[in-house]
Amino acid sequence: MEPPEGYSVAPGLVCKLTKSLYGLKQASRQWNQVFTEKMEAFGFLQSRNDYCLFSKETPKGLIMLLVYVDDILVSAPSDSYIEDVKQYLHHLFTIKDLGPVKYFLGIELARSSQGMLATQSKYISDIVCDLGLEHGKGASTPLPPGIKLSAEEGNLLADPSRYRRLVGRILYLSFTRPDVSHTAQQLSQFLHHPCQSHWNATTHLVRYLKGSSTTGMFFPLSNDLRLTTFCDADWAGCLDTKRSLTVFCIFLGTAPISWKTKKQATVSKSTAEAEYRSLASTVCELTWIGYLLHDLKLNFQHLFPYFVTTRLLFTLRRTLCSMKEPNIWRLTVT
């Protein structure tokens, strides 16, 4: 750092900081430590399953506070509790009260008597404008039907950083768009060597988003706390590595709350092995969601349905002991 005006430092001397400054690599950690200490002093408990979540029990219900760096959401059973939290934070820090949430971290939240709709239409509009596709024709699918992308597609783009920035924005967009999760995963495989075919597929996805910019996730007002899970695997789905894809989507009631499309870490020797690894990953996610719902004091059903694609899984489970590597399988899937 440089000394302030009016204070000269001899050559060879440095300044010793007595506290953290904004912009340092330690600053975010220092801020989180201070914020956590202050909220715990106010009676909040930090969740062990998501460190961004704080909760406090009151006679009328649970106060929940969600923090992302310095952006904060507060939920409480009455406005008076929210005011108490805001006054406490205002006493400690300089805050800006934005009122009832309508826009948070690029996500638009529209509430009604039926529930809440989360969209990113403005975010999509910004992407479309940056690419100059305002007057372009929309697309009906995230990717052209039948397309299979691979790393060996031609020469490197003249400006690969443009492709990387666009894919990064699409990955963030998939937070409210499960329908583009698979396509975003496919496109993110080629960040090291993007070619023209990859760029064309990306712009096709943007045209699809342009035609469905108001699509989002709807969370209905409901007491339905059933967890329903769908999982699948695409055996040897990666053309370059022959590794399989894990795909799952988890619903709380009728609303999707977690989904993933991810390439598996190892090459599966059969469709059954790929399906099992996908199921194991899904169960891990469900376990974490169960702990999180417990922190939120939600009495969800502990027995919930799984929807998988083949009966071979259950046949293989009964004959697990006859396999050459049974211990590895048990560690993975039981």
Q: How far apart are CA 46 and CA 294, in angstroms?
A: 13
User: Does some domain include residue 191?
Assistant: yes
- Looking at residue 286, which CATH number applies to its domain? 3.30.420.10
Q: How far apart are CA 161 and CA 192, in angstroms?
A: 10
The reply to whether 291 and 270 lie within a common domain is yes
User: Does some domain include residue 13?
Assistant: no
Render pLDDT for 279-308 as a digit per residue (tens, 0 to 9): 889 999 999 999 999 899 887 666 566 666
The reply to whether 145 and 196 lie within a common domain is yes
User: Does some domain include residue 239?
Assistant: yes
Average pLDDT over residues 206-235: 92
Q: 50, 72, 99: which is the final residue of a domain?
A: 99
User: Does some domain include residue 128?
Assistant: yes
Render pLDDT for 63-95 as a digit per residue (tens, 0 to 9): 999 999 899 999 999 999 999 999 999 999 999
Q: Which pLDDT score, from 0 to 100, does residue 195 have?
A: 94
Domain that holds residue 190: 118-211
Q: Which pLDDT score, from 0 to 100, does residue 13 have?
A: 78
The reply to whether 205 and 266 lie within a common domain is no
Q: Which pLDDT score, from 0 to 100, does residue 334 have?
A: 45
The reply to whether 234 and 325 lie within a common domain is yes
CA contacts within 13 A on the Cβ side of 124: 25
Q: CA distances (Å), 256 to each of 115, 170, 277, in order?
A: 14, 19, 22
Q: Which pLDDT score, from 0 to 100, does residue 166 have?
A: 97
The reply to whether 229 and 320 lie within a common domain is yes
The reply to whether 289 and 327 lie within a common domain is yes
The reply to whether 160 and 236 lie within a common domain is no
The reply to whether 174 and 229 lie within a common domain is no
User: Does some domain include residue 314?
Assistant: yes
Write down the H helix ranges in 93-236: 121-131, 160-173, 181-187, 196-211
Both tokens of 288, joined, read 């974490």
Q: How far apart are CA 170 and CA 179, in angstroms?
A: 12
User: Does some domain include residue 142?
Assistant: yes
User: Does some domain include residue 175?
Assistant: yes
Mean pLDDT, the chain, rounded, equals 88
Render pLDDT for 140-150 as a digit per residue (tens, 0 to 9): 999 999 888 99
CA contacts within 13 A on the Cβ side of 246: 20
The reply to whether 267 and 327 lie within a common domain is yes
Return the C-alpha torsion angle 273, 278, 282, 284, nearest 10: 60
Q: 99, 128, 162: which is the final residue of a domain?
A: 99
The reply to whether 162 and 232 lie within a common domain is no
Which of 11-20, 41-50, 82-91, 259-268 bottoms out in mean pLDDT, i.e. has the lowest? 11-20
The reply to whether 167 and 246 lie within a common domain is no
The reply to whether 285 and 199 lie within a common domain is no
Neighbours of 203 (CB within 10 A): 15
- In degrees, rounded to 5, the angle at the alpha carbon of residue 291 between the alpha carbons of residues 287 and 295 is 165
Q: 189, 211, 233: which is the final residue of a domain?
A: 211
Q: CA distances (Å), 170 to each of 56, 123, 174, 247, in order?
A: 35, 10, 6, 18
Q: Which pLDDT score, from 0 to 100, does residue 270 have?
A: 85
Domain count, the chain: 3
Q: Helix (H, G, I), strand (E, B), or coil: what is residue 118?
A: strand
160-173 and 196-211 are packed helices; what angle lies between their axes, rounded to 10 degrees? 30
Q: Which pLDDT score, from 0 to 100, does residue 325 have?
A: 58
User: Does some domain include residue 256?
Assistant: yes
